[in-house]
Chain A
Amino acid sequence: MKNRASNIFHEVRVAIRVGWFLALRQVRRANIWTNVLVIAIMALTFLNLVVVSGILVGLIEGSVKTIKTHYLGDVFISTPKGKNFIQHSQDIVKTAENIPGVVAVSARYLEGGIVEEDYKKTKKPGDSGNEVGTNITGIDPDSENRASDLARLVVEGEYLSPDDYDQVLVGSLLLKKYLDFESPNFPVLERADIGTKIRITLGGNTREVTVKGIIKSKADELDRRIFMVDRQFRNITNRFDYNADEIVIRIAPGVDSKAVRDAILATGAGAYARVQTAEEGEPKFVKDMKKTFNMLGTVISSIGLVVAAITIFIVIFINAITRRKFIGILKGIGINALAIEIAYVLQSVFYAILGTALGVAFVFGFLKPYLDVHPINFPFSDGILVATLDGTLLRVAALFIATLIAGYIPARIVTKQNTLDAILNR
């Protein structure tokens, strides 16, 4: 038994050696353009596996990233169901600020209100487009910017400063000039722009304010809001209890958001507020879309993998079929089928390694860094390329397994043929 195993091991070792000898020379002395073509096909197949699904997932990730960066923060505290605001907001803010790893905390005050333009003109019956219902948000501009990088979203005009009074930031989806479509269900301000005076009605009080800046984030939660300095907001709404509606917490890189959430909950804040990590606070439709796009990505990757396997199969099969006579001759002079099969498998592995290496170099050396800096401008998100090391290695492994099988089967088919028939080409 031991002797038999040793013989098999010896045969396999010799077959690998001869297979390597043959494969190396077959690849080295093959037509250069054939090699280039096959390697290009492998590289494109790899890109198909990684990039298509990566961009699909990145489409949503871009949106999630925007929401997390500019709206939810790392930990998001919101008003619990049945309550109008977060009780003891200032205690929670102070607690959060003292948790190690927290770099910024911002309290937001929210109130439904109405924004009007051209309010000095007499309205005629049927006039529309100059009055919009929206959420008006009071913020401390400095805290908010540290917590949500809001200033970066200003596409026109300027960001708020703490001393601003009667100055607002308007979300782009409230302005006609930023909306690609018209819908009666989606009212917008027709003419408002930087410097325009608009009137806000908040908690029964009206106030004339000037548009200081316009923000655009591709996150509806922000782009349909109006931001003003919290001090003035509280004056208009008579909310002097300092109880906020949303509290955004930004933590340092590497800090566990769950630990911060738990530290806040440990103070009993859960009784007054909903404390969630950004992931937990993601809107359900985003979670559903993530799942959907992940599934789509997996389906597309699987199809890509099958296409890759078929491509390699065809390449190796054509190679083996056109060299059927020489495979017969090799068997004729005593080279066993296993060595010949290994030669073809090694050829496919060579193509897979070079194609994948090219693909990896292109994705991680150029495409991903480029898209991180210049995201694809999709209508609802800035699409990035999601290509994790784990995911990529998994795809590389899958591609290799597909390649091994696709290289082996045609070689096996040809080596299985009668030796003499192969030699005589009949």
Chain B
Amino acid sequence: MKRKVVIDAENLIRTYKSGDAEVKVLRGLSLQVQEGEFVSIIGRSGSGKSTLLYQLSLLDVPTSGRVFVDGVDTSTFSEEERTRVRLNEMGYIFQDYALVPELTAEENVVIPLLMQDIETREARRRARVVLEKVGLLHRLKNLPNQLSGGEQQRVAIARALGHSPKIIFADEPTANLDNETSLVILELFKQLHKEGQTIIMVTHEREYTAETDRVIKIFDGSIVFEGSPKELRE
């Protein structure tokens, strides 16, 4: 059965100015992600995988090319409109957790829900549900600096999940974690995927792609491989 396309990137080009020189980070890259798909993007440092994620999650605007989210062309969107799409359609997990330091674990999850105009009590209830899901119900009132790296990343995942986004973007979510904690995080992604969540994850660890539906390998701003983890291994 053909599933709905939630992300459709067409011929993305992203260039940066470095002094007088122009660096082309993405070179006309196109891809589609279907609803419920778990896609991993791999590549060496500087290959353009994070830049691709920024374009897909509307954190950045491509120099040329278009990104369709749920069939809507976002190329003409203003910063405010992109922010609104991120709030309503996307959850983002940063490499360095990026929790707001003055907010407790619960409040970090609550804040996007408040922005969606959800009543505070309901927002707290939902936050508790997702924090329970990531095994942090006992850490609700802790500030980020009172949590370990793994716990912070789990709060970040809960924050990305809290407002039930269509797509979750994860930018090297295990990069700052030890192997054991990384496996816990990956297990969480696996679980979310099973529940039908669309996930696009950037990673440089090839073994972490094993549980994903599709692996996209980037080299020098272009897709050089696209297939299942098994095909990648072969």
B201 within 8 Å of A (CB atoms):
no
- Do A18 and B111 have beta carbons less than 8 Å apart? yes
- Do B80 and A18 have beta carbons less than 8 Å apart? no
- B115 / chain A contacts, CB cutoff of 8 Å: 14, 18, 334-336, 339
- Do B111 and A22 have beta carbons less than 8 Å apart? yes
Cross-interface CB contact of A326 among B80, B84, B100, cutoff 8 Å: B100
Return the chain B residue nearest A15 by Cβ.
B115
Shortest Cβ distance from B168 into chain A, in angstroms?
12
- Do B92 and A21 have beta carbons less than 8 Å apart? no
Among listed B62-70, B101-109, B191-199, interface-contacting one: B101-109
A53 within 8 Å of B (CB atoms):
no
Cross-interface CB contact of B112 among A17, A25, A28, A335, cutoff 8 Å: A335
B54 within 8 Å of A (CB atoms):
yes
- Do B100 and A329 have beta carbons less than 8 Å apart? yes
- Do A331 and B83 have beta carbons less than 8 Å apart? yes
- B208 / chain A contacts, CB cutoff of 8 Å: none
Cross-interface CB contact of B101 among A326, A334, A336, cutoff 8 Å: A326
- Do A419 and B114 have beta carbons less than 8 Å apart? no
- Do B114 and A17 have beta carbons less than 8 Å apart? yes
Return the chain A residue nearest B86 by Cβ.
A334
A120 within 8 Å of B (CB atoms):
no
Contacting residues of chain B (86-119) with chain A, CB-CB under 8 angstroms: 86-88, 90-92, 94, 98, 100-103, 107, 110-112, 114-115, 117
Q: Chain A: how many interface residues by the 8 Å CB criterion? A: 26
B187 within 8 Å of A (CB atoms):
no
Return the chain B residue nearest A21 by Cβ.
B114
- Do B79 and A419 have beta carbons less than 8 Å apart? yes
- A14 / chain B contacts, CB cutoff of 8 Å: 114-115, 117
B60 within 8 Å of A (CB atoms):
yes
Shortest Cβ distance from B87 into chain A, in angstroms?
3
Complex CA gap A25/B143 in Å reads 11
Complex CA gap A141/B88 in Å reads 87
- Do A25 and B102 have beta carbons less than 8 Å apart? yes
Cross-interface CB contact of A330 among B60, B100, B110, cutoff 8 Å: B100
Known: A25-B103, A29-B143, A339-B115. A334 touches B94 (CB 8 A): no
Complex CA gap A10/B115 in Å reads 11
A420 within 8 Å of B (CB atoms):
yes
- B110 / chain A contacts, CB cutoff of 8 Å: 21
A1 within 8 Å of B (CB atoms):
no
Shortest Cβ distance from B144 into chain A, in angstroms?
11
B166 within 8 Å of A (CB atoms):
no
- Do B111 and A333 have beta carbons less than 8 Å apart? yes
Shortest Cβ distance from A340 into chain B, in angstroms?
10
B217 within 8 Å of A (CB atoms):
no
Cross-interface CB contact of A10 among B86, B98, B117, cutoff 8 Å: B117
Shortest Cβ distance from A25 into chain B, in angstroms?
5
- Do B111 and A335 have beta carbons less than 8 Å apart? yes
- A30 / chain B contacts, CB cutoff of 8 Å: 102
Return the chain B residue nearest A326 by Cβ.
B100
B59 within 8 Å of A (CB atoms):
yes
- B86 / chain A contacts, CB cutoff of 8 Å: 332-334
Complex CA gap A10/B107 in Å reads 22
Cross-interface CB contact of A336 among B60, B83, B98, B103, cutoff 8 Å: B83
Per-residue interface assignment for chain A, residues 19 to 45, with 1 indicating a CB less than 8 Å from any chain B CB and 0 otherwise:
001100110111000000000000000
- B88 / chain A contacts, CB cutoff of 8 Å: 334
A337 within 8 Å of B (CB atoms):
yes
Complex CA gap A332/B79 in Å reads 11
- A420 / chain B contacts, CB cutoff of 8 Å: 54, 59-60
Complex CA gap A239/B102 in Å reads 86
Per-residue interface assignment for chain B, residues 109 to 143, with 1 indicating a CB less than 8 Å from any chain A CB and 0 otherwise:
01110110100000000000000000000000001
Give the one of B79, B84, B115 with max A CB within 10 A.
Answer: B115
B214 within 8 Å of A (CB atoms):
no
- Do B80 and A337 have beta carbons less than 8 Å apart? yes
A423 within 8 Å of B (CB atoms):
yes
Complex CA gap A260/B162 in Å reads 76
Complex CA gap A331/B115 in Å reads 11
Known: A21-B114, A420-B59, A423-B59. A334 touches B87 (CB 8 A): yes
- B98 / chain A contacts, CB cutoff of 8 Å: 325-326, 329, 332, 423
Give the one of A10, A22, A325, A337 with max B CB within 10 A.
Answer: A22
- Do B112 and A333 have beta carbons less than 8 Å apart? yes
Complex CA gap A396/B96 in Å reads 43
- Do B83 and A334 have beta carbons less than 8 Å apart? yes
- Do B87 and A333 have beta carbons less than 8 Å apart? yes
- B117 / chain A contacts, CB cutoff of 8 Å: 10, 14, 17
Return the chain A residue nearest B50 by Cβ.
A424
Shortest Cβ distance from B15 into chain A, in angstroms?
15
- Do B114 and A18 have beta carbons less than 8 Å apart? yes
Q: List 23 A-B contacts (CB under 8 A).
A: A17-B117, A21-B110, A22-B100, A22-B102, A329-B100, A330-B100, A332-B59, A333-B159, A334-B83, A334-B84, A334-B86, A334-B87, A334-B88, A334-B163, A335-B83, A335-B87, A336-B84, A336-B87, A337-B79, A337-B80, A419-B59, A420-B54, A420-B59
Chain B residues within CB distance 8 Å of chain A: 54, 59-60, 79-80, 83-84, 86-88, 90-92, 94, 98, 100-103, 107, 110-112, 114-115, 117, 143, 159-160, 163
**Extra 15 A-B pairs, beta carbons < 8 Å, given A10-B117, A329-B98, A332-B94:** A17-B114, A18-B114, A22-B100, A25-B107, A326-B100, A326-B101, A330-B100, A333-B111, A333-B159, A334-B84, A334-B88, A334-B115, A335-B87, A420-B54, A423-B59
Chain A residues within CB distance 8 Å of chain B: 10, 14, 17-18, 21-22, 25-26, 28-30, 325-326, 329-337, 339, 419-420, 423
Task: List 5 tightest A-B contacts by C-beta distance, closest first.
Answer: A334-B87, A29-B102, A329-B98, A334-B86, A420-B60
